[in-house]
Structure formats: structure tokens, C-alpha cells
Amino acid sequence: MTVERAQIDLQEAINAISDVVQNRPRPIRSIDQIYMKAGDMVMQAELVAYWANGKKLAFIGDGDAISVCVAHLKERGILPYGPSQITVFDFDERQVHSIKSFAERKHIRLLNAELYNARDPFPMTNRFERFYTNPPWGQSNDGESVHIFMERGMEACGHGGQGMIVIADDEELEWPKRVLYTTQKRASELGYFVSRMQPLMHSYHLDDDALLRSCNLFVEALPGNRQPAESREVDKERLTNFYGRDQNLRMRYIRSSRPLTFEAADEDDWKPEFYEDTE
């Protein structure tokens, strides 16, 4: 049954997204945590909710917290549609804790998160119907990092279903075109075809390339697609330049060193300066 796209209350949606932005931990640039801008998050969340309506959805990494946006907008009734279940797999323990804490505080039962590194065998194969990933964009490895995240999403869906891959998109630069090519080629090798593409959709808080944008690349499994069911550890040679030149995938997890605090400044991020005439 086809569901009609909703006319959302933009003010309510932006306010809900601001709840999510307030909840996120600070990004770590060295591992390609670059957050999408808030207006694009609203549009992306609505799109994902509609695309995955009634489906079990796996997020392979989710620094942007689009998963939380989708769940929050649905729970608040701002969107009348959305996934039946959302599970986020991320190697940043801060992200996992923030998602679980948000879901608990907002009473969102459909949202969960698991600590997981894409290098390791995927723990929940064939449990989902859709996957979403916004991976490291693969500038220095011809998209190999994108392929690894995409492959984990395919495993989550038992090499069936559909996926949405957020990937760099630029009309002037050469490397995003190469990555788009190799990603589509790899998807084809695994029995998926590109069903559609939405170019130049998203902008980011990226100081060194503020104009770089990304697209949504939708892939869908061929009917009856069959691939090996066993999930395996990624070969080490595929981990070179994973996060950029000379930035190989070495860390298994980003561990949280202190309890998360929300709606308050982190004490490690600031220090006071006092008047001289005060004690």
C-alpha cells in the first residue's frame, strides 16, 4: 500500500531536530565525523522515514544522527510514517550511549544502537529490510571505505532489500566521480542495481571544503539475489587510507571516557577567567 508524502509542520520539525542536535557528541574530524547541516537533516529524515516506512532499518554508522531524527519525528507525530524498527551499528561508544539515552528519555521504543566496527563480522545478518549509511567517503582509497559500509548493510538485509548510501557529490572534483563509479560497480558485483540517485542533496559543517556536498544513492537487490550468508572480517589490505591519506582503520572503538551530559557544556571544553578583585 502506497503512503502519501506528508506536508510537515516545518517549525515543529526544526524544533524536533534541534533536540537531536543538542544530544549529539562533538564530532571527531580525524575519523570523518562531519555533521550534516540542520536544514538538510530535516529533509533527509523525512525522506528516510518515507522510504523505509513500515520496514526494519539498519544504520551502518550514524554520526549525523539521522536515525534519531527519523524516530523522534515519528514518535512526536510530526511524520505519520517511518520504520517499524531502527538499529544503529556504530563504533563510537559516545554515539551509542547518546542514542540509547535519547530513546529512553523520549520513550522511543523502536530505536536502538549497538557498538560495532565495520571491520568485524556483522552480528545481525538477514534481520533487516533496508539499510542506510553515510560512510567515510573514500577520497584516498577509490571508495573502498564506502564499499565496506555498503557491504555490511547488504549483509544486514541478507543481500536483499534496498539501501540508501550517502556519498560525496561534486560537479568539479574528480575523486567523487571515481568513488561513485567504483561504488556502483561494487554494488553490481554483489547483485544490486542503482534504482535512483538524488544529486547534490546535503551540505556539511566542513571547514576545509565548505562547498562539498553529498548525494543519495539508492541501491536495490535483484530478485532472488543470493550471496554467501557468512559474514567475515574485512581483509587488512582494504583498510589502507580508510579515513583519508595515511589514515588507516586502526581503532576498533571510540570509548566514552565520561558520562554524557545534555543541555550543558562539557567541562573539558571551557575554562573560566575571573575578575582580579574577586575571590
Give me the average pLDDT of each 10-residue run along the chain (279 residues): 84 95 86 87 97 98 96 97 98 94 96 97 96 95 97 97 96 94 98 97 79 94 85 94 88 79 51 59
Instruction: Give the count of beta carbons closer than 10 Å to the beta carbon of residue 195.
Output: 11
What are the cell numbers at 99? 542514542
| Residue 265 lies inside a defined structural domain of this protein | yes
Q: What is the pLDDT of residue 274?
A: 55
Q: What is the model's pLDDT at position 263? A: 47
Residue 226 amino acid letter = R
Instruction: Look at residue 12 and tell me if it is in a domain.
Output: no
Contact criterion met (CB below 8 Å) for 260 and 101: yes
5 domain-assigned? no
In-domain check, residue 27: yes
87: amino acid identity, one letter: T
- Whether 52 and 83 have beta carbons less than 8 Å apart is answered as yes
Stretch (H or E) spanning 86 = strand 85-90
Asked whether residue 56 is assigned to any structural domain, the reply reads: yes
C-beta atoms surrounding 232 within 10 Å: 10
- pLDDT value of position 265: 44
Q: Which residue range is the domain that position 132 belongs to? A: 23-269
* Number of domains present in the structure of the chain: 1
In a domain, residue 15? The reply is no
Which residues are 166's β-sheet partners? 216
The answer as to whether 4 is a domain residue is: no
User: What's the CATH number where 206 sits?
Assistant: 3.40.50.150
State residue 269's pLDDT score: 52
Q: Is residue 278 part of a domain?
A: no
